[in-house]
Amino acid sequence: MTIKRNSLDWLIQVGYTTFRLFKKNSLQNHAAATSFYFMLSATPLLLLISYAMQWLGKLAETYVPATMLFAALYNQLQLESLTAYGFLPKQTQLAAGGVGLLTLVLSSRGLVNALHSAFKIIFPDEGKRKFVVSWILPLVIIPIAFGLLGIAGLAQAALNFFSQVELIGGIQSVLLNGLNIGFTIFTFWVLVFLAYWRLPLSRPPIKQAAWIALISAISILLLSKGFGMFFRLEKYQSIYGALGGAVFVLIGTYFACVVFYLWAQCLYAATRVDVEAMEKLFLGGSGEGAGKLEGFVFGRANRLLEKYGHTYQPGEVLINEGDEGQEAFFLYSGKAAAYKNINCNERKLGELNEGQLFGEMAYLLREKRTATVKAQTEVVAIVLPPEMLEQLMRHSAPLSRRIIDTLCQRLDKMNLATQD
């Protein structure tokens, strides 16, 4: 029961952090920019596909199975619908290919830059990409991504073709249709996973990236299936005329980008939710933006205690003077005292009460432990590894100020004790 409750607390905290950061980072605006550049990139690629389809159509005119496969591929790529939307002219001319390629190169760079800009906000990092990578990657990554989607479309068209012809039985047809759906999800999941895992400068854990990418891919595919239930192309064409199809697809792309960035923000929240919960616990609900909802979401410390908590009996040593450990401690309950060896005599420096953070001096100063800490009563302490303390200080300015203030007071006490 405790495990289920802790898991529920984790989900609630991740969800709250996701929506708070999504709103704070104004990712809706980044979704709008990304959808615009996506449209610019997709149109010339679709033109190139249509050229290829015309060439394949001429080859298929004299061979019946090839004609059936061509028709399946045409339906799979939904070129007729794209022509109706206004993305593809009814009669494409190869002379426009050069313009299409130039537009593809320029818009691909804009699309990748929009993605990088959004991911730099979602996954904040002070590092920078290499100059060569930042210029060359946009020129190749989008054509490669669309190329993979094109290969997936060809494979799905072949599967649809074999599932519809009378050469196979009903059971095999059902299996092929299921394989077609699975292949679609798998291909899209790979692209989303690579974006979630490779685009951030500080890469998230691969397991969490894979799971959230799967949820994101399924969400976007379901959105694309249900989009037509609420939005009608005819209404947009009646309002915007010839541009109605472009507006219709642009809105659908915008919603897909919103979902894509929402789950990316969820991935970041899942990797940093412990830091968020620690900050609220250490500041006692006095952090910036603290309120009743935040108090409810982060009010229970059981999950943190189970993951990071340690219990010490009266007289047990938490920190030994001279040790090289760099863990920090948060005194959740009980009392402890700090001692320092001065002229071969152990002198008490002061007491530590609930809610105090200690032991951070060794990490901040990169020195050995300067004092010994012993439990006076039964003590429950949250032990923070150095990387967690670093994340906390980077994440929370109020907590950093409190740590620095406490450190200064502690150094003053140690100086006074040494002088005495």
The residues, ordered by sequence, that sit 6+ positions from 396 with a Cβ below 8 Å of its Cβ are 279, 283, 287
> Of 227, 253, 276, which one is at a domain's C-terminal end?
276
Note whether 272 and 316 are same-domain residues.
no
63 found inside a domain:
yes
344 found inside a domain:
yes
- Cα–Cα distance measured from residue 287 to residue 132, given in angstroms and rounded to the nearest whole number: 41
Stretch 273-301: mean pLDDT: 77
Top mean pLDDT of 17-21, 281-285, 356-360 is at 17-21
Terminal-residue alpha carbon distance, the chain: 54
Q: Residue 348 — φ and ψ, nearest 5°? A: -75, 125
Output the six-digit token pair for 366: 């990169």
253 found inside a domain:
yes
Q: Is the pLDDT of residue 270 over 90?
A: yes
- If one counts the domains in the chain, the total is 2
Q: Which residues pair with 29 in a beta bridge?
A: none
Contact 351, 336 (CB under 8 A): yes
What pLDDT was estimated at residue 252?
86
Q: How confident is the model over 40-94, as pLDDT tens digits?
A: 766 655 555 555 555 555 555 554 454 544 455 445 445 555 555 444 444 444 4
Q: Is the pLDDT of residue 380 over 90?
A: yes
Phi-psi region of 284 (alpha: psi -120 to 50; beta: other; left: phi over 0): left
Contact 221, 263 (CB under 8 A): no
> In 3-state terms, what secondary structure has residue 333?
strand
Note whether 250 and 392 are same-domain residues.
no
Output the six-digit token pair for 410: 């502690």
Note whether 269 and 314 are same-domain residues.
no
Q: Is the pLDDT of residue 415 over 70?
A: no
List the one residue out of 329, 323, 283 whose CA is nearest residue 309.
Answer: 329
Query: Given the structure tokens 């003077």, which residue do they identify?
Result: 321
Contact 153, 50 (CB under 8 A): no
Q: How confident is the model over 178-232, as pLDDT tens digits?
A: 676 777 788 889 889 988 998 888 889 999 999 999 999 999 988 888 887 777 7
Residue 393 pLDDT grade (very low, low, confident, very high; cuts 50, 70, 90): confident
- Cα–Cα distance measured from residue 254 to residue 394, given in angstroms and rounded to the nearest whole number: 32
294 found inside a domain:
no
What residues make up the domain containing 327? Answer: 309-419
Q: Which residues pair with 312 in a beta bridge?
A: 379
> Of 229, 261, 276, which one is at a domain's C-terminal end?
276
What pLDDT was estimated at residue 41?
67
Q: How confident is the model over 236-259, as pLDDT tens digits?
A: 767 776 667 677 778 888 999 999
- Cα–Cα distance measured from residue 16 to residue 67, given in angstroms and rounded to the nearest whole number: 53
Note whether 198 and 54 are same-domain residues.
yes
Q: How confident is the model over 124-176, as pLDDT tens digits?
A: 877 676 655 555 665 666 566 666 656 665 665 565 655 555 545 556 656 66
Note whether 326 and 227 are same-domain residues.
no
Top pLDDT among 296 and 18 is at: 18
What pLDDT was estimated at residue 319?
92
Note whether 267 and 334 are same-domain residues.
no
351 found inside a domain:
yes
Note whether 218 and 83 are same-domain residues.
yes
Contact 370, 255 (CB under 8 A): no
281 found inside a domain:
no
Task: Indicate the average pLDDT of the chain.
Answer: 77
Q: How confident is the model over 290-349, as pLDDT tens digits?
A: 567 887 888 888 899 999 999 999 999 999 988 888 899 999 999 999 898 877 788 888
Note whether 325 and 262 are same-domain residues.
no
Note whether 202 and 146 are same-domain residues.
yes
368 found inside a domain:
yes
What pLDDT was estimated at residue 187?
80
- Cα–Cα distance measured from residue 318 to residue 339, given in angstroms and rounded to the nearest whole number: 11
What pLDDT was estimated at residue 117?
86
Note whether 246 and 200 are same-domain residues.
yes
286 found inside a domain:
no
